[in-house]
Amino acid sequence: MKIGIVCYPTFGGSGVVATELGMALANKGHEVHFITYNQPVRLDFLSHQLHFHQVVIEEYPLFEYQPYELALSSKMVEIVRKYDLEVLHVHYAIPHAYAAFMAKQMLREKGLDVRVVTTLHGTDITLVGSHPTYKTAVEFSINNSDVVTAVSNNLKETTNKLFNITKNIQVVYNFIDTEKYDNAHKEECKRSALAKPNERILTHISNFRPVKRVEDVIKIFAEVKKEIPAKLLMIGEGPEKIKAKKLAKELKIADDVFFLGNSTEVAKILCYTDVFLLPSQTESFGLAALEAMAAGTSVISTNTGGLPEVNIQGKTGYLSNLGDVEDMAKNAISILKDDAILEKFKQNAKEHTKQFSLENILPVYEEIYKSCYKVK
C-alpha cells in the first residue's frame, strides 16, 4: 500500500512508534512517506520505499503564532496527489488529526479519496487534548477519522471518559523490534566502563518533562544506594533535568548519577541495565519500559495509566502508587539484592515482551489500513 505517516519527529514515544512502524512497513514492501517538520530521529535510512517530505513553515512577522496546521495540511494534499497515497496515518491527535481532516476535505474537492487513521498516544488526550482550549477540535477530529486506535485499554477508556466519542477505538499496543535488543546483547556490553563489578546499574530514559517525575527517580536511587552499591544512568533531555541534577547534589549521590543526554543507542545502554525506573505521573503505555524489558531489564514503575498492561506486578517488576518513593525503592532493593532473583525478573521481563513484538503488531496495522475502505 501507499501510506503517509505524520508524527512528531522527536525522541517522544509517539514519534518513535511512528518511525519504527514506517520503517517496518517499508521493509515489508509498502511505500511509506513521512510528512513531518524534520526528519524523524530514528529514521536512519531512506529508500525508494521510504521517503521523507519536510513541512516548511514560512515565518511571517505579522503572525505571533505561525500557522503550522495550514502548512501541514497543504503538504499532505501535495504528497497524496503526487504519490497517490491511499492512507494517511497520523500519530498524536493534536494537530495532526485536525490537519488530516482538512487535507481529506481538500482532496475530496479534487475527486480524490484518502483514508485517515488516527493513533492516540496519551498526552494528546490526557495532558493537552482534554484542555478546554483544544477539546472541541480534538473531539471533532477523532470522530471524523476513518479509524481510531489507542495504545492501551486504559487510554481507550480515558478517551471515552474525557470526550464524547462516537467512533469505536481499537487498541493497538506499542511494539518493539525484539531482534534489535537481542543483537545489542550479542555485542560486547561495556558495563565495566560505567560501573564496578559489584555495582548494580539502574537507568531512567525520558524527555524529562514534569509528567516523568525525574526527582522521584533520584530519590528512589538515593534510597537504593543506602543498601546496594549502584550507579544511575539518566538518558534524555528536558525541562526537569536541572532540578534532578540539583537534587542528586543535595542528596550527595551526584558522583554515582550520570546524565548522558539524548541517545539513539538505547538498546546498547539498556543491555547493561539491571533495573529500569519509571515513576511517571501517568503513561498511556510506557514504551520506555517496554524497550527496557525487551533488553532484559526489570521495571520499577508507578501503577498509573496503561503501565499495568505492560509491567506485571511481581513478575517483570513492581508497580507502586504515584509518589510512593519508599515503596519503589524497597521493591528495587528486593530485586537487586539477590543475583538469582534479579536474573529471574530479567528473564520474565524479556519473555513478556514477546507479545508486543513487531511481528505481532505490524499485521494489525496492515489490516487496519485495508479495512479503512470498508468503514464509512
Which helix (H) or strand (E) segment holds residue 136: the answer is helix 135-143
Under the binding rule (CB under 6 A), the answer on residue 95 touching ligand GMT is: no
Under the binding rule (CB under 6 A), the answer on residue 129 touching ligand GMT is: no
Peptide bond into 95 cis (omega under 30): yes
Under the binding rule (CB under 6 A), the answer on residue 291 touching ligand GMT is: no
List the one residue from 121, 219, 231, 346 that touches ligand GMT (CB under 6 A): 121
φ and ψ at residue 147, rounded to 5 degrees: -135, 140
Q: HEC states along 233-274?
A: EEECCCCCHHHHHHHHHHCCCHHHEEEEECCCCHHHHHCCCC
- Tell me the CA distances in angstroms from 164 to 142, 148, 172, one per residue in order: 10, 14, 21
Least gap, CB of 297 to ligand GMT (angstroms)? 16
List the one residue from 247, 287, 294, 335 that touches ligand GMT (CB under 6 A): 287
Q: Whole-angstrom Cα distance, residue 96 to residue 98? A: 5
Which one of the spans 11-19, 97-105, 133-141, 156-164 is the region binding ligand GMT (CB under 6 A)?
11-19
Which residues have C-beta within 8 Å of that of residue 323, sequence separation ≥ 6?
Answer: 213, 216, 279
Give Cα 337 distance to the centre of its chain.
30
Under the binding rule (CB under 6 A), the answer on residue 130 touching ligand GMT is: no
Buried b (16+ CB within 10 A) or exposed e, 275-295: bbbbbbbbbbbbbbbbbbbbb
List the one residue from 17, 79, 97, 325 that touches ligand GMT (CB under 6 A): 17
Q: Whole-angstrom Cα distance, residue 115 to residue 351? A: 36
Neighbours of 232 (CB within 10 A): 25
Under the binding rule (CB under 6 A), the answer on residue 206 touching ligand GMT is: yes
- In terms of Cβ atoms closer than 10 Å to its own Cβ (0-12, 13-18, 19+), residue 335 is buried
Q: Which is nearer to ligand GMT, 181 or 285 (CB)?
A: 285
Q: How many binding residues for ligand GMT (CB under 6 A)?
A: 19
Which one of the spans 33-41, 43-51, 116-124, 326-334 is the region binding ligand GMT (CB under 6 A)?
116-124
Q: Which is nearer to ligand GMT, 118 or 225 (CB)?
A: 118
Least gap, CB of 289 to ligand GMT (angstroms)? 8
Least gap, CB of 308 to ligand GMT (angstroms)? 13
List the one residue from 3, 4, 5, 13 that touches ligand GMT (CB under 6 A): 13
Contacting ligand GMT within 163-192 (CB under 6 A): 174
Side chain identity, residue 209: R
Which one of the spans 14-22, 158-166, 226-234, 270-278 is the region binding ligand GMT (CB under 6 A)?
14-22
Please give the grid coordinates belonging to residue 180. 534489535
Q: Whole-angstrom Cα distance, residue 318 to residue 275? A: 11
Under the binding rule (CB under 6 A), the answer on residue 207 touching ligand GMT is: yes
Under the binding rule (CB under 6 A), the answer on residue 282 touching ligand GMT is: yes
List the one residue from 12, 40, 129, 317 that touches ligand GMT (CB under 6 A): 12
Least gap, CB of 270 to ligand GMT (angstroms)? 15
Contact footprint for ligand GMT (CB under 6 A): 12-15, 17, 121-123, 151, 174, 206-207, 211, 282-287
